[in-house]
Amino acid sequence: MVFRLSLLIRAFCDPRPSNRKISGRHSEAGFTLVELLVVMVILVLLASLVAPRVIGYLGSSRTKSAKIQIESFGTSLELFKLDTGRYPTDREGLQALVEKPGNIKNWNGPYLNKDKVPEDPWGNKFGYTYPGKRGDFDIFSLGADNQEGGEDEDQDVASWQ
């Protein structure tokens, strides 16, 4: 009698899953629909909190990358001037850093490590003016919207900033 009682207690209180029948159905280990929905809601909430920060970091990193590229162009333009005695004209533009323009003397380029002038981080061309309004030359990117002005990722990035 005691042996049978211990078997019954073990059968109904054993935390390990089994294939015992409960009211005509087999009980199986697994998650209920409610548990799955709760987990999904938690994941969506976490994603909604994290996504704006990640997108913000991406935008600021593109702006920083544009600033670094502009500084690199500035250094290359100074080397161009040391060799040729002048900066490239508006017409020659930044292309003069990778291709010898016309009949220019003492050009020792290319002054960039690329076959062509790189685009800004948003896929647009950098602007270049000589003589510059705010320095010897002006180099700028119009940001993600490719229009003057703007904030955040749309802000302009320039050599005089």
Structural domains of the chain in order of their starting residue, each with its CATH number: 57-158 (3.30.700.10)
**Tokens 């040729």 belong to residue:** 84
Q: Is 122 exposed, middle or buried (0-12, 13-18, 19+ CB in 10 A)?
A: middle
pLDDT of residue 2: 47
Of the candidate ranges 11-25, 30-44, 99-113, the one whose mean pLDDT is the lowest: 11-25
SS3 85: coil
pLDDT of residue 156: 76
The answer to whether residue 90 scores a pLDDT higher than 80 is yes
Q: Which of 68, 58, 73, 52 is nearest to 144 (CA)?
A: 58
Provide the Cα torsion 43, 45, 51, 52; round to 10°.
Answer: -170
**What percent of the chain is modeled with pLDDT above 90?**
12
Q: What is the DSSP letter of 152?
A: G
Average pLDDT over residues 151-158: 73
Average pLDDT over residues 84-108: 89
Mean pLDDT, all residues of the chain: 79
Average pLDDT over residues 65-87: 90
The answer to whether residue 35 scores a pLDDT higher than 60 is yes
